Structure 1
Amino acid sequence: MSKPIPVPVIDSGDSASIDVASTAPTTPDASWSSSPVLRADIDRRIESLNIEFDSLQTPSTPPTNHADGPILGWSYLAQPVKNICCVGAGYVGGPTAAVMAFQNPNIRVTVVDRDERRIRRWNSKHLPIHEPGLGDIVRIARDGSREISFTNTPVGSRANDGSDTASSSESEPASDGHHFRMTVVPSRQPNLIFSTEVTKCISEADIILIAVNTPTKSRGIGAGRATDMTAFEAVTSVVAQHARPGAIIVEKSTVPCRTAELVRETMELHRPGVHFEVLSNPEFLAAGTAVQDLLQPDRILIGSLTSESSRRAAETLATVYAAWVPRSRILTTNIWSSELSKLVANSMLAQRISSINSISAICEKTGAEVDEVAASIGRDPRIGNKFLKAGIGFGGSCFKKDILSLSYLAESLGLEEVGEYWRQVIKMNEYQRDRFSRRVITCLNNTLVAKKITLLGYAFKANTSDTRESPALEIIKTLLEENPREIAIYDPCCNPVVTRNEIKILLRDQAALQDDGGPIVVYSNAYEACAASHAILITTEFDEFRNKKRLETPKGLPGITFGSNKSLDPRPFKRIEPSETDILSLHKFLLHKNRCSGVGSDPLQRYIEEPACAEDCPDCGLMEKDASVSSKGNPNNEYRPGPGERLDWSKIASMMKTPKWVFDGKGIMDPKAMAKLGIRLESVGRRSSTFHELVVRYHTWIDEE
């Protein structure tokens, strides 16, 4: 065995990890092992393999049409899976592994990362990622559960008076009808492990998922566009040295097309003559709905070669997902198509956002309303209504870097016009964000001096604490140049102490925080953040901020949507033995039903007590510090809205400075309701109104009522 190669800290995408950017070459001209284009002799080797996806026609081989889905009827080809190792405990690896373990109680799923702080948080009650429903999944898979029993009868039926309770004792005798029986769910043992023992866990795994961060390079050749493969290459080297023969290596990270050949080359370099299969299995998760996307995916994409061993590996991975995903949604493709599909999917979604944002600029000049335009064109079945919500632009770790990667890939292949086309999507996104900032400054008489500006929302998207590439941060940078008295920030999902530390790191070239002499103050209370404010900017579409009905309802489990205030009893279950998804649906329903009755977060009494934190737990210290900071600004212990509760805009209006400005960057505010409160509302995609016009509209609305 060759001498182990030193491995840097694995960056799995946590925004709190600030690492020195790599200058390792990732361009085709600079490295023989880089993506998207590899050296010519590799291409000749691939051609020599005669990989033709329609050439396997013998009865002993699986179906060859990848578009038809998985290898239906060929599940006997699958290898038994007892142990899965996911390398990378970030926004992709953590939730993905948690759901895999939750849905496959008989498979041991281990998540490894060299970041001890992140692993410690996964093993505590302070999860490093905020995602609705993630805590419920982790607690069952990581800690195990008690035996429980409940009636298979909806609330309100004659066999259930609404006081549905669960017990860990033996069930009651069953009634004659299936619906009225007591359903018993046995206890389960923990099968989700978080560890820093990277090499040990890799060596024990049947399937190894690589889910480390692949950001955009910030230095060297291709800086600002090419994908930085440093962490991915480092992990691949470790996997190559320590994986057991026959292990299946799976790309979960978003990587440039043809990266699978890099993985194969690395495995051959370190372990010549040892057989491994390499698959592509990109994730299609959206921040804020990641758990729902994993529990009810639109599709599971598995890319492989067409050799029998490669197809057998694809079927093995498919059986893991088949524990809860319908087989019709598990699709197999050419491995290169799978790698490219993720980049194209994100790029086309971002393209739709930039397209409707470009129309919003026209609407503001003409008097058209972008919501009405979007509703109209969204009725066209050829277009559809998804991702046609105008706003201040897209953020997050995926869209921008994936578009840049796709653009760089095109130009590396000599397709300059294609690369320029996709770069325009990013330019439009930046234009939309900057246009919003300029609109704020213009409406406030081109000066922010001695004024307080409040931002509601710091994360790039609702129901997540992910702040990577958040439009709010760029808006803050623009506002800082205008020398305001205070920039107040409130976000219901972001820990204020963590946000302060992050801002201090990201804006290290200037004194930004109030403690350092700057104007930025991060609050844990929305009303405190809005008090005495000259203008409020809505920069994240949290439901807490809304004053009008939500038009779209996100998908969720049967009977429940994570983060929703409405739920339906999922019973009676069709199965005599309910699945984990069924039990989770019932848990969410009872949690909502008993929210105000003091039942707590475990209505089924299924949880085992979480691991206790050490006395010097830094996360507990953060919570205590945040409580201390909040109490100083709230000496009377006034009521604060809880998660998911709407803000009282009449209360906010009474505390604002006159004239009262609200700038709606997400299209979630009702202008009529704002006008009644004496608030001037400026929205993306709606023409600005003079104060006289607002008064006329207000009286017109009053007359209509």
Structure 2
Amino acid sequence: MKISVIGCGYLGAVHAASMAALGHDVVGIDVDAAKVEALTEGRAPFFEPDLPELIRQGTAGGRLSFSTDIADAAGAGVHFIAVGTPQLKIGTGADLTYVNGAIAALLPHLRPGDLVVGKSTVPVGTAERLSPAVELAGAELAWNPEFLREGHAVKDTIAPDRLVYGVKLVPSGPLSHRSGAVGILNEVYAQAIANDTPLVVTDFATAELVKVAANAFLATKISFINAMAEIAEVTGADVTQLADAIGYDDRIGRKFLNAGVGFGGGCLPKDIRAFTARAEELGRGESVAFLKEIDAINMRRRDRVVDLVVDSLGGSAYQKKVAVLGLAFKPNSDDTRDSPALDVAVRLHGLGARVIATDPEAIANSRLRHPQLIFGTTDEAIAEADAVVVVTEWNEYKELDPVALASVVRTTIVVDGRNCLDVTKWREAGWTYIGLGRR
């Protein structure tokens, strides 16, 4: 099939390259000329495992191209909208400027029978609002939310754990496939369909809610265990053992029950805030009011990590050297958007600490956001440090040798902001180990 992908940021670039890998002819469209140039040359503009190879294979094989001209999308039968929906600068709702602009720019190039497929995370009601303009051009709109995990995005696109199609309902009730939306999407995802990937065909509103509801649930689970960590710290309980114990219940499960510095990135924080804002617009703000507390718990964890560092240094971080290990919001990513790790580094710097921050992939993005920080290698950060803080659980940090490190730091204090280190190993090496919600 010939496919266009409008928007070549994180979602769009991964989707375009993955669709080409599945055998489709794909053109990616983006207004950022530098980004298009990088992609055309086979360079991913952000870090994502396996993506550069996929881009190079696609462009070399002639199945994948990129352009700044929306007119190059003409002739494609399926058009994916994969632009960003950031948080509004004023307020907590989603900014739909890019979604609205992408649809408006695409309309003159649509042909009768084309299918426009939204992948961007949008407030419920967006597809219903956009559908009439698409239909007026003789095309049909569907909504196909993404469920990508940064660090695993290529796999999640090529071999998803589920597919959701939101299509327009006819007045009589059954789902409308008037332009063959379901059949076309089944052809796009033929490999996943052949592998019996679960498929949910539903209405616009449900498809839009699936993504934000999933993110809200994950955020709730993470903040729940972090709330338990707060209780554990004042009672002497161990939150990690608590999570293990309740995780054996298959109704609960162990995943996302790791207490730590909290969640961040470009999705969970802004999506739960936008969900709350939309619910309030619909007059049902009380239904998701708990998400405000979920957000508050999450932000408190950053405060807690900073407090633990300061307390470990005798009550003041001023002029103390602190090694901050990790800047990306999660491992296998260079994404520093709303990153708790980067936030911890900035806060410690603001308290007068001599922060040396490091990360395998996210230093460049961190420097753009906070040039006041000092960045270095892991060795440079740890040398003569008064305290070491782990805030992104990269494998190379989890595998550090505490015995070897003890000879190069000034003080053997480690604050484990992700509860990812081997407690026994570090304490036996003579370190003062401080975790969150742990004895």
**Normalising TM by the smaller chain, what interval?**
over 0.9
Displacement of 1:306: 4.0
Q: Which amino acid aligns with 1:290?
A: A
Q: Percent identity?
A: 35
For 1:238-277, what aligned pairs fall within 5 Å after superposition?
Answer: 238-267=105-134, 272=136, 274-277=137-140
Aligned to 2:162: 299
Specify which of 56, 63, 82 is matched with residue 191 of structure 1.
63
Which residue of 329, 339, 342 maps to 1:473?
Answer: 342
Tell me what 2:438 maps to. Answer: 686
Q: Deviations over 1:135-169 (max 9, x none)?
A: 2322222212xxxxxxxxxxxxxxxxxxxxxxxxx
Q: Verify the 8 A CA contact 2:44 2:55 in the aligned structure 1.
A: no
Letter in structure 2 aligned against 1:650: V
Q: Which residue of 2 aligns with 1:544?
A: 396
Q: Give the aligned residue type for 1:135.
A: P
Instruction: Work out whether residues 400 and 426 of structure 1, in 8 Å CA contact, stay in contact via their aligned partners in 2.
Output: yes
* Kept in 2: contact 1:277–1:309 (CA 8 A): no
Partner Cα distance (1:254, 1:118) in 2? 22
Equivalent residue, structure 2, for 1:674: 426
For 1:321, the equivalent position in structure 2 comes to 189
Q: Distance in 2 between matches of 1:351 and 1:287?
A: 19
Structure 2 residue 370 is the aligned partner of structure 1 residue 503:
yes
Cα distance in 2, alignment partners of residues 445 and 236 from structure 1? 57
C-alpha displacement at 1:323, in angstroms?
2.4
Task: Note if contact 2:327-2:392 (Cα within 8 Å) is conserved in structure 1.
Answer: yes
Partner of residue 379, structure 1: 248
Q: Which residue identity lines up with residue 442 of structure 1 in the other structure?
A: D
Change (3 A) 1:311 1:376: farther
- Counterpart-to-counterpart distance in 2, 1:261 and 1:125: 37
Which structure is larger by alpha-carbon Rg, 1 or 2? Answer: 1
Are 2:311 and 1:392 equivalent residues in the alignment?
Answer: no
1:331 deviation in Å? 2.3
Report the CA distance shift for 1:526/1:310 in structure 2 as closer, same or farther (over 3 A).
farther
Deviations, residues 90-132 of structure 1 (Å, cap 9, x unaligned): 110111111111012xx21111101011112212353212111
CA distance in structure 2 between the aligned counterparts of 1:92 and 1:654, rounded to whole angstroms: 44
Counterpart position of 1:656: 409
Q: Is the 8 A contact 1:371 1:389 kept in 2?
A: yes
Moved more, 201-210 or 239-248: 239-248
Residue 436 to residue 303, structure 1, CA distance change in 2 (3 Å): same
Q: Who is 1:109 aligned against? A: 26
* Cα RMSD (Å): 1.6
* Count of residues paired in the alignment: 433
Q: Separation in 2 of the partners of 1:408 and 1:674?
A: 44
Cα 1:416/1:261, change in 2 over 3 Å: closer
Q: 2:349 and 2:110 mapped to 1: Cα distance?
A: 51
Partner-residue secondary structure (3-state), 2:293: helix
Question: What's the offset of the Cα at 1:502?
Answer: 2.8
Identify the match of residue 534 of structure 1 among 386, 400, 420: 386
Distance 1:431 1:502 in 2: 22
3-state SS of paired residue (1:323)? helix
Out of 359, 362, 377, the position equivalent to 1:491 is 359
Q: Is the 8 A contact 1:318 1:330 kept in 2?
A: no
Higher relative contact order (CA 8 A, sep 6+): 1
Q: 1:421 aligns with which of 272, 275, 290?
A: 290
Alpha-carbon distance between aligned partners in 2 of 1:329 and 1:309, rounded to the nearest angstrom: 19
Secondary structure of 1:204 counterpart: coil
| Structure-1 separation of matches of 2:163 and 2:83 | 19
Q: Indicate if the aligned counterparts of 1:303 and 1:314 stay in contact, CA closer than 8 A.
A: no
- Tell me if 1:281 matches 2:144: yes
Task: Give the aligned partner of residue 61 of structure 1.
Answer: none
Q: TM-score, normalised by structure 2?
A: 0.95
Q: 2:200 aligns with which of 331, 335, 347?
A: 331
For residue 89 of structure 1, what is the amino acid of its counterpart? C
The answer to whether the 8 Å contact 1:305/1:334 transfers is: yes
Unmatched runs of 5 consecutive residues or more in structure 1: 1-81, 145-189, 505-511, 513-519, 547-645, 688-705
Q: Which amino acid aligns with 1:266?
A: A
Q: Counterpart of 2:85 in structure 1: which amino acid?
A: T
- In structure 2, C-alpha distance between the alignment counterparts of 1:101 and 1:499, rounded to whole Å: 31
Q: Report the Cα offset of residue 476 of structure 1.
A: 2.4
Q: Distance in 1 between matches of 2:417 and 2:327?
A: 12
